[in-house]
Chain A
């Protein structure tokens, strides 16, 4: 089993609220990712990080922001939640930092299912 955790697992919240989705891994991985996935659809990369103080935007434009102050922690924040943000958010991590030539297996957390009313 992968040692990557996400909280909360489920969140139902009203429009306009600020939310933070937590993601932590205990594997010492440098690379971490956030994906968004709607039911029956593919994963879309929204943010990634090569290591501490490194964050990049992914392929899918997102109003969320991320931070990477510690290696093991990669929280995602929505300043003002809207119904269009309703989705599943999956966090993942893999070995290797920036410049690593081979792309290693990504380990996924259990996801946060967000519903914005």
Chain B
């Protein structure tokens, strides 16, 4: 079983829509949770850390459910520039990356 599993998508949504997706992780001892964004053929970049109480950064909201071992990302009022692959990242003493969820926002 992979340490981090994500729905690969793609999620194809119109501009202005809300899109949400989850990832599940297998190591219950994990302490750090992140969402990274990776554009095609580019390096991953941190989108946001995920805190136990959930957190918001502009149009992006992340939630953590430790009991069910999943984290979620919600994007509101999606923009064309949100088109990317979103990587779920989980770790304790080292980080494990999911394969990513691809989001395509169309005009």
Interface residues of A (CB under 8 A from B): 35, 40-43, 45, 48, 58-59, 90, 101-111
Contacts and interface: CB of A to CB of B under 8 A. Distances in A.
Nearest to B3: A59
Contact of A110 (B42, B92, B99): B42
Contacts, number: 44
Nearest to B97: A43
A96 to B, nearest CB: 11
Contact of B49 (A90, A105, A110): A105
B98 A111 contact: no
B32 interface: yes
B31 A110 contact: no
B94 interface: yes
Interface residues of B, number: 21
A90 B87 CA distance: 15
Contact of A102 (B31, B94, B100): B31
B97 A102 contact: no
Contact of A108 (B43, B93, B96): B43
B45 interface: yes
Contact of B95 (A41, A90, A106, A110): A106
B91 interface: yes
30 contacts: A40-B99, A41-B99, A42-B87, A42-B97, A42-B99, A42-B100, A43-B87, A43-B97, A45-B94, A48-B94, A90-B43, A101-B31, A102-B32, A103-B31, A103-B32, A103-B91, A103-B93, A103-B94, A103-B95, A104-B32, A105-B34, A105-B46, A105-B49, A106-B46, A106-B95, A108-B43, A108-B44, A110-B42, A111-B42, A111-B43
